[in-house]
């Protein structure tokens, strides 16, 4: 491998159908799933709150947010605690439901290319989709997701 090729340690986050790919630093911890404190009046993608490290962390299901097929949490469901990139979400963290444990991968330009089979809305929570050998992970717009969480919580207040 060429020493000039830049690599990024990333996580492939398993979803019901598909995966997300995020930089390793985005995820603070992956914890056992416990049902969040429900919010019956919120959108389907907003699942409520969990307590984690003395914080009240909002929880989302990205499949519902993106209009993808999702299932109810089951035995493989975990909660990935994401570090926020902005100050939009109080507490600086949010939880994302996953279907198993994220997988650590090294990503470089040689193993990925843009996969443009699916057109994602410009203001949506997914930036684009990649083709990495035989995987097709989606790149989430973490900043946009944080704004959507903030707006959801403000609407409920």
Q: Could you tell me if residue 2 is inside a domain?
A: no
Q: What is the CATH number of the domain that holds 131?
A: 2.40.50.180
Residue 45 lies inside a defined structural domain of this protein? yes
Give domain status of residue 55, yes or no: yes
Segment 4-24, tens digit of pLDDT: 558 889 999 999 888 999 999
What does the pLDDT look like over 116-157, one tens digit per residue? 777 777 888 999 989 888 889 999 999 999 999 999 998 876
- Domain that includes residue 51, residue range: 9-156
Mean pLDDT of 69-75: 82
4 inside domain: no
Note whether residue 15 is domain-resident: yes
17 occurs within a structural domain? yes
Alpha-carbon gap, residue 18 to 66, rounded angstroms = 12
Joined together, the tokens standing for residue 30 give 């992956």
The domain tally of the chain equals 1
Strands of the sheet containing 46-52, edge to edge, are 27-32, 77-83, 93-99, 55-60, 46-52
Q: What is the mean pLDDT of residues 84-103?
A: 95
Structural domain contains residue 95: yes
Contact call for residues 67 and 126 (beta carbons, < 8 A)? no
pTM (two decimals): 0.89
Structure tokens at 100: 């198993």
Residue 3 in any domain: the answer is: no
């Amino acid at each position: 491998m060429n020493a000039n090729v830049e690599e990024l340690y990333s996580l492939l986050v398993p979803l019901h159908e598909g995966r997300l790919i995020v930089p390793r630093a985005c995820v603070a911890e992956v914890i056992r799933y416990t049902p969040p404190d429900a919010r019956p009046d919120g959108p389907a993608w907003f699942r409520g709150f969990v307590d984690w490290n003395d914080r009240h962390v909002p929880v989302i299901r990205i499949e519902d947010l993106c209009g993808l097929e999702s299932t109810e949490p089951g035995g493989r469901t975990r909660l990935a605690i994401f570090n926020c990139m902005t100050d939009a979400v109080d507490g600086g963290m949010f939880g994302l439901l996953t279907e198993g444990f994220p997988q650590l991968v090294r990503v470089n330009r040689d193993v990925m290319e843009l996969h443009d089979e699916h057109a994602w809305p410009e203001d949506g929570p997914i930036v684009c989709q990649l083709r990495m050998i035989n995987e097709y992970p989606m790149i989430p717009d973490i900043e946009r997701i944080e704004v959507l969480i903030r707006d959801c919580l403000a609407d409920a207040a």
